[in-house]
């Protein structure tokens, strides 16, 4: 590094230069250490309804959650949806497995009247 003698008149310019360098260095460190914001993005049900191509109603999404058709996470009382999981779900062509129909047994025995 070349040495430069700084006079009293050059101090403001030198400080500006150092501050700019420090800011660039700080931005580089933050971008290297912090996780990418695109990787983990949580959505609530309103954001999900806006994000989905068909713009379904909330009741429709609640129905999908009840049938476990759509990937979701429950945090306390709130439903949360991970954007990356929703993207995979939208791209998959798989139909969700349907629950087997409920079978009711009818008794052929007569009840005794007392």
In tens, the pLDDT along 25-47 reads: 888 888 777 655 556 899 999 99
Residue from 45, 101, 48, 98 nearest 69 by CA: 98
Domain ranges for the chain, please list them: 42-91
Report how far residue 28's alpha carbon sits from residue 69's, in angstroms, rounded to the nearest whole number: 41
Q: Give the largest Cα separation in the chain, rounded.
A: 113
Given a contact cutoff of 8 angstroms between Cβ atoms, the answer to whether 14 and 6 are in contact is: yes
Arithmetic mean of pLDDT, 12-17: 90
Query: What distance lies between CA 67 and its chain's CA centroid?
Result: 21
pLDDT value at position 8?
Answer: 87
Q: Tokens at residue 103, please?
A: 């079978």
Q: How far is CA 60 from CA 14, 46, 48, 69, in A?
A: 61, 12, 11, 11
pLDDT value at position 109?
Answer: 75
Ranking 19-33, 42-56, 100-114 by mean pLDDT, the lowest is: 100-114
Say how many residues make up the chain.
Answer: 114
| Mean of pLDDT over the chain | 84
pLDDT value at position 30?
Answer: 81
pLDDT value at position 94?
Answer: 57
> What string of DSSP letters covers 57-75?
-HHHHHHHHHTT-S--EEE
CA dihedral over 48, 49, 54, 57, signed as positive or negative: positive
Highest mean pLDDT among 23-37, 64-78, 96-110: 64-78
């Amino acid at each position: 590094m070349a040495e430069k003698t700084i006079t009293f008149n050059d101090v403001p310019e030198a400080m500006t230069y150092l501050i700019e360098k420090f800011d660039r260095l700080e931005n580089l460190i933050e971008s290297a250490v912090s996780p990418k914001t695109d990787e983990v993005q949580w959505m609530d049900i309103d954001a999900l309804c806006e994000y989905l191509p068909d713009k379904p109603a909330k009741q429709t999404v609640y129905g999908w959650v009840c049938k476990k058709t759509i990937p979701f996470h429950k945090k306390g009382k709130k439903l949360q949806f991970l954007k990356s999981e929703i993207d995979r779900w939208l791209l998959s062509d798989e139909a969700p497995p349907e629950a087997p129909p409920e079978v009711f047994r009818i008794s052929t025995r007569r009840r005794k009247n007392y």
